[in-house]
Amino acid sequence: MLGDIILILSGKEVALKVREEVKKECAKFVALSSHKPTLAVVLVGDDPASATYVASKTKVCEELGFVHQDYKLEANIEEDVLLNLINQLNKDANVDAILVQLPLPSHMNERKIIKQIRAEKDVDGLHVTNLGSLLSEEEGFVPCTPAGILKILEYYNIETSGKNVTVVGRSNIVGKPTAALLMQKGNDATVTVCHSRTKNLKEATLNADILIAAIGKANFITDDMVNESCIVIDVGINRVDDDSRKKGYRLVGDVDFENVEKKCKAITPVPGGVGPMTIAQLMVNTLLAAQRHYNKRS
């Protein structure tokens, strides 16, 4: 368990352990099947953050011995072009996993695009079938960021059973699946989900043994919103202007790290916290997709 010293929960450290294990399991799988797990990543447009994220995924794929197929589409393409590409990848027996990088351009329907991916290749875990499996505690792909959060808590021996967990944010990517995952048998947390219409938000955050910030607003959680025994998980990645930096900006989370760190019991940094775990869990899901694909063919 955690001691009296404020602990920085390094997602980088946990991700390294996860990737090492995936690399070993991948080598065993390749020896058995003569097939390398194959991930197809589709990037639409030229959003710098998305491009950086895709590049990171490519690098980790190569590190672990996966095959990656990268598809770069112009931001102004018709939605049908993307849907047709997804259909081709769905039918390609050599492709185990498909990921369409979000967000998509505003003229595209994200839900429609996600539903087009076959559930057994949806390693982002965002298809309605996989989200339904999560709610009913059946086999499927768990969304990568929520899975990464649980892995961080597990790695640092942070107990969730019977704890009050407040999730700030209700997105389908993080907020909702994180809440569902924490409520599952075995995790057994009591979860409060807060959002833009929540009244007395501060009361809910102060009551949290574990606070998960996933609202997408820089430095939104301040030190007066957390108690001294709170474990803070910061999911946010926001750019703020900073003329002292070469790039002219710096990355911050949804939590005012500088001040909250002085008060809480443990906290994830940004960058270096949840972000690396999201990619690590994507690799876990990709290997799992390949294993299931192979077992069906065998």
Encode pLDDT of 217-238 as tens digits. Answer: 999 999 999 999 999 999 999 8
Where do the CATH 3.40.50.720 domains begin and end in the chain?
Answer: 143-275
Query: Catalytic site residue 124?
Result: yes
User: How many CB atoms sit inside 10 A of residue 34's CB?
Assistant: 8
The model's pTM is 0.94
For the domain spanning 143-275, the CATH number is: 3.40.50.720
Q: What pairing do the DSSP bridges indicate for beta strands 249-252 and 238-241?
A: antiparallel
Residue 69 falls in the annotated catalytic set: no
| pLDDT single digits (tens) 235-245 | 999 888 888 88
Contact, 62 vs 5, CB < 8 A? no
Let me know: does 6 contact 229? Beta carbons within 8 Å.
no
Alpha-carbon distance of 126 to 176, in angstroms, equals 11
CATH of domain 34-118: 3.40.50.10860
Going by C-alpha positions, the residue among 267, 215, 265, 264 that lies closest to residue 237 is 215
In this structure, what token pair is assigned to residue 276? 């690396």
Of 36, 96, 122, 124, which is the active-site residue? 124
pLDDT of the residue at 191: 98
Torsion of CA 1, 164, 189, 217, to 10 degrees: -100
Q: Which of 36, 57, 176, 265 is catalytic?
A: 57
In this predicted structure, what is the pLDDT of residue 207? 98
Which residue among 101, 116, 281, 291 is the active-site one? 101
Instruction: Work out whether strand 38-44 and strand 97-100 pair parallel, antiparallel, or are unpaired.
Output: parallel
CA distance 238 to 20: 29
pLDDT of residue 2: 52
- Low-confidence stretches of the chain (pLDDT < 50) are 1, 3
Residues of the chain with CATH 3.40.50.10860: 34-118
